[in-house]
């Protein structure tokens, strides 16, 4: 429904530039809003603060950390979230190995130059080598606009994020699950598992893309969003 605003929530050390091609396209027909970076507190607190700034009803697109926030909005305010798009993320909480890896990232953020402590591994997250240079430049620029404390806050938020599998099982509005085919962080088989978990979810696999499909293959990513926004409501029989 074009009278429902679309809210974009960027991922770690990203901002509105992560979704510029989609914002430009969708703004022709929808009101588009972009959430500010998470900068303190956990995902639950941030979701509450964000919801207080949004219209009563909205559709939400979240990438990675932003997808975790989007799922928390669904958990806390299911009547307000008109439809949900999860990008490059899953619904599981961190396991011990993930938590340990993130602790290493926190140590690096405190001891190494910023944002190099984050950007030095970005190239390994991309899919199509030919598109890497402009995408890396955009990601570098967004990271340079941030600071080490925001990075640490966002890592902590990911470490402590809740498991949202039950949240998604209960949600009965349109869900789009979007991923890059070559995402090394969330391989396709894990995203397919997530799609099977959610009633009537539509899976959109973006070719020639890794962890940042909105920048790596913006045309196909935008088309996926448009299909998600046109996905019809499905009536479910209540027990």
pLDDT in tens, 73-132: 999 999 999 999 999 999 999 999 999 999 999 999 999 999 999 999 999 999 876 557
Buried b (16+ CB within 10 A) or exposed e, 187-199: eeeebeebbebbe
pLDDT in tens, 154-186: 999 999 999 999 999 999 999 999 999 999 999
CB 43 within 8 A of CB 64: no
Kindly state the percentage of the chain with pLDDT values over 70.
95
Mean pLDDT, range 55-78, rounded to an integer: 98
The full set of domains in the chain, from first to last, is 6-229 (3.40.50.1820)
pLDDT in tens, 135-155: 999 999 999 999 999 999 999
Residue 172 φ/ψ, nearest 5 degrees: -120, 30
pLDDT at 33: 98
pLDDT at 238: 45
CB 171 within 8 A of CB 74: yes
pLDDT at 130: 53
Buried b (16+ CB within 10 A) or exposed e, 100-110: eebeebbebbe
The contacts of residue 59 (CB under 8 Å, 6+ apart) are 4, 5, 6, 7, 81, 82, 83, 84, 85, 229
pLDDT at 122: 93
């Amino acid at each position: 429904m074009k009278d429902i605003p679309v809210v974009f929530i960027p991922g770690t050390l990203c901002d509105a530039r992560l979704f510029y091609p989609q914002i430009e396209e969708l703004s022709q027909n929808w009101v588009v809003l972009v959430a500010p970076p998470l900068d303190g507190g956990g995902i639950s607190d941030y979701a509450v603060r964000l919801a207080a700034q949004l219209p009563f009803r909205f559709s939400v697109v979240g990438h990675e950390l932003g997808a975790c926030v989007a799922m928390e909005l669904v958990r806390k305010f299911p009547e307000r979230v008109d439809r949900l798009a999860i990008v490059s993320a899953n619904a599981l909480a961190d396991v011990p190995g993930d938590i340990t890896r993130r602790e290493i990232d926190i140590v690096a953020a405190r001891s190494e130059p910023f944002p190099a402590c984050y950007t030095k591994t970005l190239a390994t997250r991309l899919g199509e080598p030919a598109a890497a240079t402009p995408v890396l430049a955009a990601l570098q620029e967004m990271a340079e606009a941030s600071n080490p404390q925001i990075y640490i806050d966002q890592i902590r938020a990911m470490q402590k994020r809740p498991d949202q599998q039950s949240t998604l099982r209960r949600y009965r509005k349109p869900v789009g699950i979007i991923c890059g085919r070559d995402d090394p962080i969330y391989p396709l088989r894990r995203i397919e598992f997530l799609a099977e978990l959610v009633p009537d979810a539509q899976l959109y696999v973006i070719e020639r893309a890794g962890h940042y499909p909105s920048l790596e293959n913006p045309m196909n990513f935008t088309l996926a969003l448009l299909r998600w926004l046109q996905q019809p409501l499905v009536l479910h029989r209540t027990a």
